[in-house]
Each structure stands twice: as structure tokens, then as C-alpha cells.
A and B are shown apart, each in its own frame.
Chain A
Amino acid sequence: MDLMNNNLWRVKVGLAEMLKGGVIMDVTNAEQARIAEEAGACSVMALERVPSDIRKEGGVARMAAPRVIREIMDTVSIPVMAKVRIGHFTEAQVLEALEVDYIDESEVLTPADEEHHVWKHGFKVPFVCGARNLGEALRRIAEGAAMIRTKGEAGSGNIVEAVRHMRAIVGQMKKLTTLGEEELVHEAKELGAPFELVEWVAKHGKLPVPNFSAGGVATPADAALVMHLGAEAVFVGSGIFKSSDPAQRARAIVRATTHYRDPKIVLEASEELGDAMKGLDVRQLEEKDLLQTRGW
């Protein structure tokens, strides 16, 4: 595991460590980034359109325009992340040249490669990737992802898929800690994940990188829920800037994430908010409309 035993890997995971307990907010321009930072976001994610608009408008969703990303980087002092299409390593090279702080190889954008994800160990900039279960998380870590987030169902405003994915990842990790060596070999085959990483998880009971949640967070209570289930930080996409009160909602979600163990504070954070984004019943979506099934 030399790829994961060097100083570059340490500072990649190290930045993810610094984001723990915080909220990373999707923004599409410098003004939204400023609102997010003032509300207490620990990082912002630059993208062309928030997921709910991508869903509504259709078309190919790509990396955001470098000019917009640069404006966001010039506006805020917190780390700036940006999304690339799955497998689109030249979009990633462009973002590395732009010096963004983290790259999200994201199912929210239209995949550029249906078989291969980016070889992330080949980059100096760290990557975060989405996962629906432990096998997927470990495959992404094997490729060099220094942070994992649940996929959830982006742009749905519905927390059910993020809950499903977080419970799957945490449950599968718990199971590994109870197995013997010979069972781990079989489990690695079942998970479709490298044995060394399966063994590491069995020994430590957690992922070798921070484990965050994304996809469907719309309210302070949603954020507190995924934190209780094992998320170490929260990504909020459409939930903030598609609500009727972005600045207030952003602040409330930050507060609920910090104090997720204290229902009184989550209550305070939930009061006096306007309308949350409308949201979708994921069961009514057709398979072709699901974003989470992109990537493997």
C-alpha cells in the first residue's frame, strides 16, 4: 500500500480531516459562495448548475467554467472544490492547473467514461468520490480518492437514499470487524474490493479516509440525521440555494451539523426557516433519471 504511505497522501487526507464536522455547500457563482462562507460553510463546491436544475433542464452536465471557479476562489478564503465528470481526467487536469483545493469526481455530471474512473493517485490535488456501498467506496479509495461521500440522490431534496447508502457502508464495515481472515478473502470478492483495503477496514472498523454524506440534505434535521448515522461532515447541494431562504438555511444547517447530538439546538436551528426545496419521491423516478447509478 505504498500509494497510501507517503506525504502527498497524508496531506490529501489531512485536508479532508480539517473539513470534518462541517458543511460543504454547492454554489454556482461568487455571490452564492460569499453567502455560504458567511453562513459558516467549511468549503464550497463550484458547479455549473445545482443538481435539481440539471435534473429539470437535462442536457450534458459538465465541469463549471474556469472563469466562474476562479471568481469563486478569489471571493472566499475557505477551500474551493469543483466537480468533474466520472472518468474525465482532462477536466481534472484543468482543475488541478486552476489550483482548486479538492476535486469531486461526481455522478451529478454526465459521465465521460462508463467503465473507468479517474486514476486519482496520479494527481497532486485530492479527490472525493461518491459511493452507495462499501465495495464502491473501497474501489474509489483504491484509485486514490482521499474522501468518500454517500451518493444519495442528488437534487431530490429527499434524504432516503443518503440514509440507505450511509447505513449500507457503516453496516458492511461493522460486519467486516466480526469476520476471520479466510472470510475476509471471500468478502473482498463479494464486495469487489481490494483485499488489503477490506483487511484494513476489518481491523479499524472505519474507512481509511473520512466518510461524508451527500445527496438529498434539505433541512437541519436531515443534516443531523446523517451525522448520527456515521457521516463525518455534510455536503448540501440544491437544498440551500433552491430554498426560499438560502442564507438563513445555510446557517441553520451549519448549526445543526455542529450540534447534531443536541436536539434542542437542532430545534432552534429548524425554527423560523422558510420553505425547504420541494423535493421528489425517489420511488417515482425512473431508472434512467437516477444519478446514483452512474459510476460503479
Chain B
Amino acid sequence: MASERKIGILAIQGDYEAHAKALDRLGAAHTYVRRAEDLAGLGGIILPGGESTTHLKVMKEEGLFDALKQFSANGGAFFGTCAGAILLAREVHNPPQASLGLLDISILRNGYGRQLASDVHLGPTKLHKEPLEMVFIRAPIIESVGEGIEVLAEDASHPVLVQKDRVLAATFHPELTNDATVHKHFLSLLPRNGKS
């Protein structure tokens, strides 16, 4: 069971170390994923912040794009933050680009504008009573969500934390705060005993 619950962190580029530290604080085992074979035996994967164009390019070169789709089909859990949320979306705008399409949302890259629009907000979440601290960095905006998508947090009337089944996506960076709420929630989505 232990190995089935190990979490991969896509480590092509971006703030993957911040995610590793967040998982360390929760005592969750993790490993970095750079090639398709690194996915073997994992229960879930985190797609970190960074540049989605770079991630997409390298994922395709390494065969990770198709391997991640297969990983999802086999019941693996996904958590994408910012660039990771873009990679999970069904549809990407500004500009349109390929994505894994594992979550029925439509997303607008750099939705708030450039770096000068980056900011830290406090907002309500369904995960607990206290407001959640949300770090937005050149963040995307979720324009629309499909049927059955649960909105776990909103900011200025946009969904910013959404989930369906074992796929969780945040347009902000919980890994850049000391609040472990969102990562803890992701751990609850991992398959147990390797079964769906």
C-alpha cells in the first residue's frame, strides 16, 4: 500500500521543490517525475507551477503526455497548480494550446494580466471555515466548468479551486504558503491499496 500511495511531482521545470516541501510537511512520500517510466508504482501526481508551454514541449518529447493520460485511465490522482491546472483543462485559451483534457474546464492563460497583476488574496473555501490564502502569479482564470465539477474555492466570482473525482486543480499556488489544507485534500483523493 505504501508504494501505491507515493506521489510523483512533475519536475520538468517550475516550483516542484515547493510542492516537495509541502508534502514533506505532511509526511507524504514523493518522487520527481521527468520521464514516462518514473510514473511506475505511483498513486498520484502533482503538476506544479511553471510555464505550461515548456512543460507541454518536454512532456511530449519524453512520451509523458500519453503516459499521463494512461496514468489517469489507470486510476491515478492528479493535482495541478497554475500551469498544472492549464495542462489538466479540457480547453485552453490565450493562446489555444494542447492539454491533457482530464478536467472539464475551460481556462484562460494569464487571465489577470502580466506579473504586475500577481497578488495574494484571502478567500472562502469549502475545505474549511477559515479563509484560504491564495498566491496568484500570472495566474490563469477558469472561464467555465462542465457538469459535475465541484468548485471548492472562488475568488472575485471565478472558480479557483475545482475538482472532479480524482482530479484537483488550483489556479493559485498553495505550495507557496504554509497552509497545508489543499495538499491534505489531495492526499485524500489517492487510490487506496492500488484499487479504484
Our pick among B58, B82, B95 for the contact of A254 (Cβ within 8 Å) is B58
Provide the bound-state CA to CA distance between A258 and B32, in Å: 12
Q: Which residues of A (183-205) have their CB < 8 Å from a CB of B?
A: none
Tier of interface size on chain A: 35 or more
Q: Which A residues form the contact surface with B (CB < 8 A)? A: 7, 10-11, 14-15, 17-22, 37-43, 73, 77-79, 96, 99-102, 124-126, 251, 254-255, 257-259, 262
Tier of interface size on chain B: 35 or more
Given contacts A21-B12, A102-B115, contact A41 B137 (CB under 8 A): no
Closest Cβ neighbor of A17 among chain B residues = B15
Q: Please count the residue pairs between chain A and chain B whose beta carbons lie under 8 angstroms apart in the complex.
A: 113
Our pick among B53, B113, B116 for the contact of A78 (Cβ within 8 Å) is B53
- Identify whether the interface residues of B are mostly helix, strand, loop, or mixed: loop
* Best-buried of B34, B118, B135, B138 by chain A (most CB within 10 Å): B118
| Chain A residue contacts of B191, Cβ below 8 A | none
Q: Are B115 and A101 in contact (CB under 8 A)?
A: yes
* Best-buried of A11, A42, A99, A102 by chain B (most CB within 10 Å): A11
Q: Are A21 and B11 in contact (CB under 8 A)?
A: yes
Distance from B86 Cβ to chain A, minimum over Cβ atoms (Å): 10
Provide the bound-state CA to CA distance between A259 and B50, in Å: 16
| Chain B residue contacts of A254, Cβ below 8 A | 54, 57-58
Given contacts A7-B120, A19-B50, A20-B13, 19 further A-B contacts (CB under 8 A): A10-B120, A11-B137, A15-B115, A15-B137, A18-B14, A18-B82, A18-B138, A21-B13, A21-B16, A21-B50, A40-B58, A42-B54, A77-B94, A78-B53, A96-B116, A125-B116, A126-B115, A257-B13, A258-B12
Distance from B117 Cβ to chain A, minimum over Cβ atoms (Å): 9
| Chain B residue contacts of A262, Cβ below 8 A | 34
